[in-house]
């Protein structure tokens, strides 16, 4: 019997899985192993989310986490799922999670990767069945408390009508994989994705607007009046950022009187999304500096966060003399 061999078998096609893609792109074996564990955890979380209401998995655990926020049962489930899968991976030597007060240092024969993650981003959307995400940042284990420029890769999983795995790597750019739940695989969808130079929507929690800085307030007036941007704010950063990555625009959580240093956490929320934006041609800043230039001092530190298309973010930045 002869078999016709497709001359395109070694290029990315509609049935290319995430592990096949990373192999085709000649990514290091250990990085591929790490991504396999992250993707496996994401598939478990996606499966649980689909039936969580039926299993009594909605609502809080009654505990308060290190951030002073109520822990939802699914925050706890997703954190345990990520941690347990990553503990099985010999290439991970450090774990930092929004849900754990301290980082975990694992006994490994060599120090290799650190994974910093927010297991469930947008927890307030859980009980109302709206989109949420998981965010992750990959660093060398020696680089946990260094600037965001040192990230080796970053990504997120968007649990929406479809479950998307979005992965940014410096040399390859940003690529989307869609979970086909019938076969349990993330299949290549599209990339490299570029963020439009300018968008038509913006999002922030305006209940805090009275205590925003004058510069932020002026910027918002410009977004609303000078170049009309529609408001889009879902309560889940991953979902709001994904819209901006695809269509352009701005998401912001600046400093205010409730959150003088901003609400979002630098290492596992702001820096990974800033890295993704940067790989896609967008930009992210605190009110003072580029997010990727901030030198972190603690694993759970917060930062004001303004991310989006270059045109809008450069309008926000003070004019250089
Ligand atoms: P979480 O990780 O505890 O869910 O907090 C982060 C979330 C973001 O996803 C979202 O954009 C923001 O907090 C919403 O905050 P608020 O409800 O204050 O608007
Ligand atoms: Mg979060």
Look at residue 227 in the predicted model and tell me its pLDDT.
85
pLDDT of 163 over the 60 cut = yes
**pLDDT tens digits along 250-286:** 999 999 999 999 999 999 999 999 999 999 999 999 9
CA of 253 to the centre of ligand 1 (A): 9
Closest atom of ligand 1 to 239 CA is 9
More confident residue, 16 or 66: 16
The tally of CA atoms less than 13 A away on the side-chain side of residue 287 is: 19
Q: Is 22 within 8 Å of 34 (Cβ atoms)?
A: no
| pLDDT bucket at 3, cuts 50 / 70 / 90 | low
| Ligand 1 binding pocket includes 259 (Cβ within 6 Å) | no
Going by the DSSP 8-state scheme, the letter that residue 17 receives in this structure is B
Look at residue 272 in the predicted model and tell me its pLDDT.
98
- The closest ligand to the CA of 238 turns out to be 1
The tally of CA atoms less than 13 A away on the side-chain side of residue 101 is: 4
Look at residue 236 in the predicted model and tell me its pLDDT.
98
Burial group, residue 107, by CB count within 10 angstroms (0-12, 13-18, 19+): exposed
Q: Please, what is the average pLDDT of the chain?
A: 94
d(CA 102, CA 88): 19
Q: Is 132 within 8 Å of 239 (Cβ atoms)?
A: yes
Look at residue 320 in the predicted model and tell me its pLDDT.
54
| pLDDT bucket at 107, cuts 50 / 70 / 90 | confident
Look at residue 264 in the predicted model and tell me its pLDDT.
98
CA of 118 to the centre of ligand 2 (A): 5
CA of 311 to the centre of ligand 2 (A): 27
pLDDT of 300 over the 50 cut = yes
User: What b/e sequence results for 72-103 when a residue is b if at least 16 CB atoms lie within 10 Å of its CB, and e otherwise?
Assistant: bbbbbbbbebbbebbeebebbbbbbbbbbeeb
**pLDDT tens digits along 115-137:** 999 999 999 999 999 999 999 99
- Within a 10 A sphere around the Cβ of 110, how many other Cβ atoms? 9
- The closest ligand to the CA of 72 turns out to be 1
d(CA 60, CA 62): 5
pLDDT of 223 over the 60 cut = yes
CA of 121 to the centre of ligand 2 (A): 4
| Ligand 1 binding pocket includes 244 (Cβ within 6 Å) | no
Taking CA atoms, 53 is separated from 127, 160, 182, in Å, by: 8, 16, 21
Determine the straight-line distance between the first and last CA of the chain, rounded to whole angstroms: 73
d(CA 261, CA 304): 6
CA of 107 to the centre of ligand 1 (A): 33
| pLDDT bucket at 111, cuts 50 / 70 / 90 | confident
296 three-state secondary structure: coil
Look at residue 5 in the predicted model and tell me its pLDDT.
54
d(CA 53, CA 120): 16
Computed from CA positions of residues 123, 126, 127, 131, in that sequence, does the dihedral angle turn out positive or negative?
positive
More confident residue, 111 or 117: 117
| Ligand 1 binding pocket includes 237 (Cβ within 6 Å) | yes
Instruction: Write out the two tokens for 192.
Output: 């490299």
Q: What's the CATH number of domain 201-319, 3.30.70.2860, 3.40.640.10, 3.40.190.80, 3.40.920.10?
A: 3.40.190.80
**Angle, vertex CA 278, rays to CA 267 and CA 97, nearest 5:** 20
- The region of weakest confidence among 103-112, 182-191, 307-316 is 103-112
Fold of 10-190: Fructose-1,6-Bisphosphatase; Chain A, domain 1 (3.30.540)
| pLDDT bucket at 321, cuts 50 / 70 / 90 | very low
pLDDT of 65 over the 90 cut = no
Where are the chain's structural domains?
10-190, 201-319
């Amino acid at each position: 019997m002869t078999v016709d061999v497709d001359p395109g078998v070694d290029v990315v096609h509609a049935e290319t899985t995430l592990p096949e893609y990373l192999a085709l792109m000649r990514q290091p074996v250990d990085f591929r192993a790490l991504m396999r564990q992250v993707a496996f955890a994401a598939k478990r979380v996606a499966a649980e989310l689909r039936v969580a209401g039926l299993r009594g998995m909605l609502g809080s655990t009654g505990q308060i986490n290190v951030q002073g926020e109520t822990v939802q049962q699914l925050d706890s489930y997703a954190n345990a799922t990520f941690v347990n899968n990553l503990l099985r991976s010999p290439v991970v030597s450090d774990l930092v999670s929004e849900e754990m007060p301290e980082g975990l240092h694992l006994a490994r024969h060599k120090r290799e990767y650190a994974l910093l993650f927010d297991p469930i981003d947008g927890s307030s959307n859980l009980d109302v069945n709206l989109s949420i995400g998981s965010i992750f940042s990959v660093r060398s284990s020696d680089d946990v408390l260094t600037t965001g420029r040192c990230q080796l890769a970053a990504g997120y999983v968007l649990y929406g009508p479809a479950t998307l795995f979005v992965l940014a790597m410096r040399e390859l750019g940003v690529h989307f994989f869609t979970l086909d739940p019938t076969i349990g695989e993330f299949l290549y969808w599209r990339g490299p994705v570029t963020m439009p130079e300018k968008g038509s929507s913006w999002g922030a929690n305006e209940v805090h607007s009275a205590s925003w800085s004058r510069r932020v307030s002026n910027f918002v007036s410009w977004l609303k009046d000078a170049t009309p941007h529609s408001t889009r704010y879902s309560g889940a950063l991953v979902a709001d950022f994904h819209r901006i990555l695809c269509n352009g625009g701005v998401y912001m959580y600046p400093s205010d009187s409730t959150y003088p240093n901003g609400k979002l956490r630098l290492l596992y929320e702001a820096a990974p999304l800033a890295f993704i934006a940067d790989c896609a041609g967008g930009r992210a800043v605190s009110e003072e500096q580029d997010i990727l230039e901030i030198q972190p001092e603690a694993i759970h530190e917060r930062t004001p966060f303004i991310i989006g298309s270059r045109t809008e973010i450069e309008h926000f930045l003070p004019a250089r003399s």
